[in-house]
């Protein structure tokens, strides 16, 4: 297996099956630290730099929380407008990264341009973690999600993932790539204007991900082991920021999960949502045994602890 030390985490396209299991194993080893709300000194000599050009609650703060749990240091920005990249100068990614690499040992970047973290990695002498790039990918979120499936159901293999929502979304791309390494099926349910592209589906075929497209939730809810959700009412991920409009659409019934819909689901199926949610996942579902998105959010810290420990070379 390739070493994680010093490695960029930009995509799940090239992640190998044994690497998923290795990351899950390290997450299991470190999880008690988060559960017991302890801070350790594993990464006491290391600093993480965050460069967030797009809003985030979970991804940035979960990385920061993970670093604190491991005793490391954190610096960075969460609003590029307060940096030279977001003012008069519009400083380039190359120049910005040449600064940031002097300030820490790992760079976590979210950007509205697809491929921006990849460009950062070209110029940075420190490892770069993609925290979401435009519609591109969100590898650390999907590692978190698959870890949650493994923990909550015992295995990713053998599962039917019903992926509901906007399939232009970066998580949908990362999970499609990731499932090529498992004996699992990806079932796609999306509004027509949010369907996966032909290029993406061709990539899934090339990689060996088993997929099919369905028209209606009723066609597939009884088959689902994992109901994997994204909103269809959401901002344009190619923009740095979008304010909420006075007028915005509601989620059509076909892309919503409710208590009523879940009555038809398998008893042991689980619902995941990387959050934030709109009206596609009603709060009434929070009370059901199927809801695992809060566990998923907790695992977001544990997964980032595992990745940071591996990338920064304190854990093999």
| Minimum distance from residue 138 beta carbon to ligand CP (Å) | 6
Q: Record the tokens describing residue 158, joined without a space.
A: 């053998």
CB of 181 or CB of 274, closer to ligand CP:
274
Cα separation, 125 vs 97, whole angstroms: 9
| Minimum distance from residue 4 beta carbon to ligand CP (Å) | 22
**Contact status, residue 151 vs residue 299, Cβ threshold 8 Å:** yes
CB of 233 or CB of 275, closer to ligand CP:
275
Q: How far is CA 40 from CA 59, 68, 203, in A?
A: 21, 8, 41
The footprint of ligand CP (CB under 6 A) covers 56-59, 132, 141, 274-275
Vertex 153 angle, CA 58 and 256, to 5°: 60
Strand (E) or helix (H) holding 61? helix 58-69
Q: Record the tokens describing residue 187, joined without a space.
A: 């079932």
Q: Record the tokens describing residue 147, joined without a space.
A: 């870890």
Cα separation, 106 vs 258, whole angstroms: 41
Tell me which residue has tokens 């420190």. 126
Number of H helices, E strands in the chain: 9, 9
| Minimum distance from residue 60 beta carbon to ligand CP (Å) | 6
CB of 201 or CB of 275, closer to ligand CP:
275
| Minimum distance from residue 237 beta carbon to ligand CP (Å) | 10
CB of 85 or CB of 142, closer to ligand CP:
142
CB of 58 or CB of 69, closer to ligand CP:
58
| Minimum distance from residue 274 beta carbon to ligand CP (Å) | 4
| Minimum distance from residue 240 beta carbon to ligand CP (Å) | 13
- Of 180, 242, 234, 241, the closest CA to residue 211 belongs to 180
CB of 241 or CB of 264, closer to ligand CP:
241
Q: What is the DSSP letter of 148?
A: H
């Amino acid at each position: 297996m390739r070493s994680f030390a010093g490695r960029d985490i930009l995509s799940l396209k090239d992640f190998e099956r044994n690497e998923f299991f290795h990351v899950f194993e390290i997450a299991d080893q470190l999880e008690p630290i988060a559960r017991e709300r302890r801070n350790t000194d594993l990464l006491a000599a290391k600093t993480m730099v965050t460069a967030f050009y797009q809003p985030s609650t979970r991804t940035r703060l979960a990385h920061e929380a993970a670093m604190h749990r491991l005793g490391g240091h954190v610096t960075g920005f969460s609003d590029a407008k307060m940096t030279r990249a977001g003012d008069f100068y519009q400083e380039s990614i190359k120049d910005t990264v040449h600064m940031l690499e002097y300030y820490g040992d790992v760079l976590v970047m979210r950007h509205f341009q697809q491929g921006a973290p990849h460009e950062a990695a070209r110029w940075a002498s420190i490892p770069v973690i993609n925290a979401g790039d435009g519609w591109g990918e969100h590898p650390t979120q999907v590692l978190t999600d698959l870890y949650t499936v493994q923990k909550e159901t015992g295995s990713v293999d053998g599962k039917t993932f019903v992926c509901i929502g906007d399939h232009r979304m970066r998580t949908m791309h990362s999970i499609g790539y990731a499932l090529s390494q498992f004996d699992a099926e990806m079932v796609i349910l999306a509004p027509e204007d949010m369907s996966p592209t032909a290029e993406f589906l061709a990539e899934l075929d090339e990689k060996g991900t088993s997929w099919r497209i369905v028209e209606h939730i009723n066609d597939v809810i009884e088959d689902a082991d994992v109901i994997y959700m994204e909103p269809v009412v959401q901002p344009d991920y190619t923009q740095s920021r979008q304010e909420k409009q006075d007028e915005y659409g509601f989620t059509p019934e076909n892309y919503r999960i409710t208590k009523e819909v879940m009555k038809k689901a398998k008893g042991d199926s689980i619902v995941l949502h990387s959050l934030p949610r709109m009206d596609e996942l009603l709060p009434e579902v929070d009370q059901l045994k199927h809801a695992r998105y809060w566990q998923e959010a907790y695992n977001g810290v544990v997964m980032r602890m595992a990745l940071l420990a591996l990338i920064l070379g304190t854990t093999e």
